[in-house]
Amino acid sequence: MNVNEIVGLKQQALDEARTAADAAALEAVRIKWLGRSGQLPAIMKGLGALAPDVRREAGRAANELKNELTALLDERKTAFESAGARAATASFDATLPGRWRASGSLHPITQVIERATAIFRTMGFTVASGPDIETVFNNFTALNTPASHPSRSPSDTFYLQDDLILRTQTSPVQIRVMLNQQPPIRIIAPGRCYRRDTTDATHSANFHQIEGLYVDRKVSLADLKGDVSHFAKQMMGPDVKVRFRPHFFPFTEPSVEYDFSCHVCGGQGCRVCKQSGWIEISGAGLVNPRVFEQVGIDPNEWQGYAFGMGVERIAMILFGIGDIRHLYENDVRFLAQLA
């Protein structure tokens, strides 16, 4: 290829670059002439077959083609980019008002935990916490739960490896505190729990509890009933009713279950309270002396009470929620009503 042919190709390449309609067409020109398989590399490769004096002139012409075409491509690319930026700016109307974004709010479960914690703090309780993954000892053995107890069954509890489980209650936090702190003790332990429950309107495999523990001298069941009743009226309002029923738990003796009157139906009976007018909150009682022995506290010197309450159950009463599953469906339209 002689010098005149290269000069002719240069003019053709420059014309194609000048007439490219957009950035994509300009990139196609660059690939055609300067790409790895383009025409300029082919020209440069053929220079070796020319006579020395011709090769020198042809090489100079090829370099001019490369330099002039590269400069023109860069110039037109910048022009296309500037035009695009101007178009984007022109489409923006700075006089329009800003878009309103609704402010977020706390989830109903978080609201209940924070309100309950604030109430118990006024009663002298401090907040304790523990891990969701617990040992069988802390969750069952130290709480005087026999090996044959149904709650230890794999059909009721999520077992992991190495004698670990997902805690079925927040009571293990009580054990951790009593193992590391001498009485008097006055703590609450809010947290997430896990059980192999069949999900329905009032049950879930993943739920929250607020556990309470008070250990001191001369603690009685009357202290427990007074504190739970005071909490209920502070949390639910002065018209709420509380009832205590005899029950059995291996970690308390004597044991009771307590219920709050149903806010959804006003105690008249509905689907939430199963037509009874009451919603079961949880169990309670005086700490079993065997539990004190497991953690090295003398039951002849110290007494205590323990209680637990389901956060979701309280939320259902407080907000008039008919189905516990609504709390976990993350429907913003529903949650916004409870902000």
Per-residue pLDDT at 272? 67
Residue 131 or residue 81, greater confidence: 131
For the segment 162-172, the average pLDDT, to the nearest whole number, is 93
Per-residue pLDDT at 333? 84
For the segment 112-120, the average pLDDT, to the nearest whole number, is 96
Nearest to 306 by CA among 171, 122, 194, 116: 171
59: which residues sit within 8 A by CB, 6+ positions away? Answer: 47
Per-residue pLDDT at 6? 76
pLDDT tens-place string over residues 60-97: 888 888 888 889 889 988 888 888 777 766 677 778 88
For the segment 11-32, the average pLDDT, to the nearest whole number, is 88
User: Helix H segments across the chain?
Assistant: 3-18, 23-34, 39-46, 52-90, 108-122, 136-139, 171-180, 221-236, 289-294, 311-319, 332-336
Residue 125 or residue 29, greater confidence: 125
**165 falls in which pLDDT band (50, 70, 90)?**
very high
Per-residue pLDDT at 124? 95
Query: What's the chain's length in residues?
Result: 339
Domain ranges of the chain: 3-90, 108-336
Per-residue pLDDT at 88? 67
Per-residue pLDDT at 294? 94
Per-residue pLDDT at 222? 95
Q: Does domain 108-336 have CATH number 3.30.160.20?
A: no
In this predicted structure, the answer to whether residue 311 has a pLDDT above a threshold of 80 is yes
Strands 185-194 and 126-127: parallel
Per-residue pLDDT at 251? 94
For the segment 20-32, the average pLDDT, to the nearest whole number, is 88
For the segment 154-158, the average pLDDT, to the nearest whole number, is 92
Per-residue pLDDT at 1? 62
In this predicted structure, the answer to whether residue 273 has a pLDDT above a threshold of 80 is no
| CA dist 150 → 146, 153, 208 (Å) | 9, 5, 21
Average pLDDT, the chain: 88
For the ranges 43-47, 131-135, 160-164, 312-316, the maximum mean pLDDT occurs at: 131-135
In this predicted structure, the answer to whether residue 316 has a pLDDT above a threshold of 90 is no
Per-residue pLDDT at 11? 86
